[in-house]
Amino acid sequence: MKTFNSLLFVAVIALITGCDSTVKVYPSFTHVSDIVINDKGEYNEVDDVLVSEITDAISDLEAEGQILDIIIEGVFLDVTKNPSIDSPENTATGFNSSIFFNDLDDVQYLLIEDLEIDMSVLTQEIDLNSSLSDDGINKLRNAIYAIAIDDASFEEDNIGFRIMGTSIPADSYMNAELSLRIEIVVEYQSDL
C-alpha cells in the first residue's frame, strides 16, 4: 500500500506541474538466505534460491512499467548462537567465514573473504557492505537483473549462496544460524 500511495503522489504532482508523463519508482524487497551450522572444526553450507522466488518477490512489489535497474542497497549477516536445541551447545568463541555467490551459470564468485565472527553474544547483526568484493556484488546484481527482466540466457533455475569457514578455536563445535540478508531496490520507469 505504501508503494501505491507513493506512486499516486508522484503521479498527481507530475500532472499538476505539467511534467513529463513518465515517472520512476523505487520499490524494494529483502531476500534472506538462512544457513544453520552444526559442525565441528570446518563447515561448508549452501542455500539455493530458486529464480521463481526472486520473480515472485518482484511481482509482489505491485509496481508497473519497465525495469531499468537493480540496486543492491545493503548486505547484512544476522548471527544467532545455539538456535538448534537438538544439537550440542556452541563451544566456539568465534569462526572465520567466507561467503560466495553462485550465479545462473553455476559460476562461483567471492562476496566476503575471511570474515571473523565473534560468538560471545547470543545474537548480532553484521554490516557487510564495506567488506564486499566489488566483482562478486556486481555479479549478484547482474544475475538478479537478468532474472528481473526475464533474460532466458542462463543455464540454471537457481542461484546460491555458500558460507564456509572454520571454528575458533580449531575443532570447537559451532551451533549457529547465519541469515544472509540482501536488500534489493528495483528501479521502474512508468508512464502516467
Residue with cell 532474472: 147
Q: Tell whether the model's pLDDT for residue 5 goes beyond 60.
A: no
The count of structural domains within the chain is 1
User: For residue 53, is it within any domain?
Assistant: yes
pLDDT of residue 151: 72
CATH number at residue 46: 2.60.120
pLDDT of residue 58: 87
What residues contact 128, with CB distance under 8 A and at least 6 apart? 75, 76, 77, 99, 111, 112, 115
User: For residue 12, is it within any domain?
Assistant: no
Q: Tell whether the model's pLDDT for residue 191 goes beyond 50.
A: yes
- Determine phi and psi for 172, rounding to 5 degrees: -80, 160
How confident is the model over 168-189, as pLDDT tens digits?
999 999 999 999 999 999 999 8
User: For residue 92, is it within any domain?
Assistant: yes
User: For residue 3, is it within any domain?
Assistant: no
- How many helices and strands in the chain, by DSSP H and E? 3, 9
User: For residue 2, is it within any domain?
Assistant: no
Does the pTM of the predicted model rise above 0.75?
yes
- Determine phi and psi for 57, rounding to 5 degrees: -65, -40
The Cα–Cα gap between 12 and 14 comes to 5
Q: What percent of the chain has pLDDT over 90?
A: 64
User: For residue 162, is it within any domain?
Assistant: yes
Q: What is the rounded average pLDDT of the residues 23-47?
A: 93
Q: Tell whether the model's pLDDT for residue 9 goes beyond 80.
A: no
User: For residue 180, is it within any domain?
Assistant: yes
User: For residue 19, is it within any domain?
Assistant: no
pLDDT of residue 158: 87
The residue range of the domain holding 164 is 26-191
How confident is the model over 84-110, as pLDDT tens digits?
888 999 999 999 999 999 988 889 999
How confident is the model over 41-90, as pLDDT tens digits?
999 999 999 888 998 898 888 778 889 999 999 999 999 999 988 899 99
